[in-house]
Amino acid sequence: MRIQIYKSLLAYRTYEFRSLWTERSEIVRLINLRPEHLTEDCLAEFLHPAETSIDILAAYVRALGDASLTPQRNQFLHSLALHHVRAALHAHPDSVSEELKGFAKYVRTAVTQSELRTLLGI
């Protein structure tokens, strides 16, 4: 039952998902879902395709940078955010929009925390 509630709340690419990350980001730190709580199919739904919404990617970077997400407290969401931000930062330049290229350039220059830079591979 708990997994279904999380899955409904975090349903990928819905208004609620976007709102959770961009408008109600303080809630993210309260979700302590671990990858083993989800089936492989469910995990795949969250990880693929790669996120391209700049609003959500920016929210991921904020949550990682301000420690709203930590691997100890929010293992799944931390991994989810890292996965999508890394994908955006390391995507082949020919396969992404100009907007996403601009986002990647901004993150590479704006993120100054050495630990976060290491996690993001920049």
pLDDT, tens only, 92-107? 888 889 999 999 999 9
Task: Please give the residue range of the domain that contains residue 29.
Answer: 2-120
Name which of 83, 76, 79 is nearest 2 in CA terms: 76
pLDDT on residue 1? 45
**80 has pLDDT over 90:** yes
**3 has pLDDT over 80:** no
Tally of structural domains, the chain: 1
Q: What is the pTM of this model?
A: 0.86
- Count Cβ atoms below 10 Å from residue 63 Cβ, excluding itself: 22
pLDDT on residue 33? 83
63 contacts 81 by C-beta, under 8 angstroms = yes
pLDDT, tens only, 35-65? 888 888 878 888 888 999 999 999 999 999 9
